[in-house]
Amino acid sequence: MTSPIRVETGTDPALAVVTVDHPPLNLYDRELHTALTEVVTQLEAERPRGALFRAEGKVVSGGVNVRDSFLPIAQNGDVEAGTRYFAELVELGERVHRLPFPTVFAAHGLTLTWAFELALACDLIVAAESASFGLIEATVGLTPAMGGTQRLAERCGQGRAKYFVMTAGRFGAAEMERWGAVDRVVPDDELDGSARTLAAELAAGPTVAHAATKEILASLADGGLDTANARTAGIAGKLFATADLRGAMDSFVEKGHGRAVFHGR
């Protein structure tokens, strides 16, 4: 059986391109859940210098296959099974969020439920002008399961996160950019190229320093400004032992700004 997700390294082995291809609508079901879990495990083990998440088809995802994922649990009123499944989803989102390298998500068409939650777990979201987003779990009496609510609140505030989730509406890319939920909006025909270029640029950069940036921001989310301040010196100080920093300093002295080549070490 063909996996609903493939991982390619393309011409640059430093960048992993993760493509969801589960037609017709890339709905989240047990097969996709298993595949995504396996891909995240692969990324954790192989540790590329960057990853791009994207999807094939007219939409990123039309949402969840309710019959496959939630209906049996709901029909049985099985709180323990529901709690276990949500715990798996939250952990999966957190694992993506904590990957120690830059992650970019490319959104086109509908990007609903799990797909938007996965996007929010990534570092940067690039959206096509025609893309639209929604966490529509309320329409079936649920709330988002992969950490999307809280990550959306981190990006644009609790009020907007409540409005977004409780109304179960669909919101366009331009509005999401104004809110701060989406980082960049590009013309539809430029999405794939723009997202790949951004992800490749990040992967070619000082990825150990990028990992430090992510760790500091995680400290801010964990314990606020005081915690982040307390941990910053220890996190950033380790960069002085990296070959990338030494090479970039030498390059700066010899050639000037912006000419360093980084190797992720």
State yes or no: is 94 an active-site residue: no
State yes or no: is 137 an active-site residue: yes
Residue of 44, 94, 117, 175 marked active site: 117
Residue of 137, 154, 175, 254 marked active site: 137
Return the closest-CA partner of residue 138 out of 119, 163, 102, 157.
163
Give the separation between CA 184 and CA 176, rounded to whole angstroms: 10
Return the closest-CA partner of residue 114 out of 188, 47, 53.
53
Cis peptide, bond prior to residue 102, ω within 30 of zero? no
Alpha-carbon distances of 58 from 105, 124, 147, rounded to whole Å: 16, 21, 25
Give the separation between CA 220 and CA 216, rounded to whole angstroms: 6
10's CB contacts (< 8 A; 6+ apart) are 17
Give the separation between CA 25 and CA 209, rounded to whole angstroms: 37
Give the separation between CA 65 and CA 26, rounded to whole angstroms: 9
Rounded (5°) CA angle 207-223-143? 90
50's CB contacts (< 8 A; 6+ apart) are 14, 15, 16, 101, 102, 103, 104, 199, 200, 202, 203, 207
Give the separation between CA 108 and CA 104, rounded to whole angstroms: 13
Mode of pairing for the β-strands spanning 15-20 and 50-55? parallel
The residues assigned a catalytic role are 117, 137
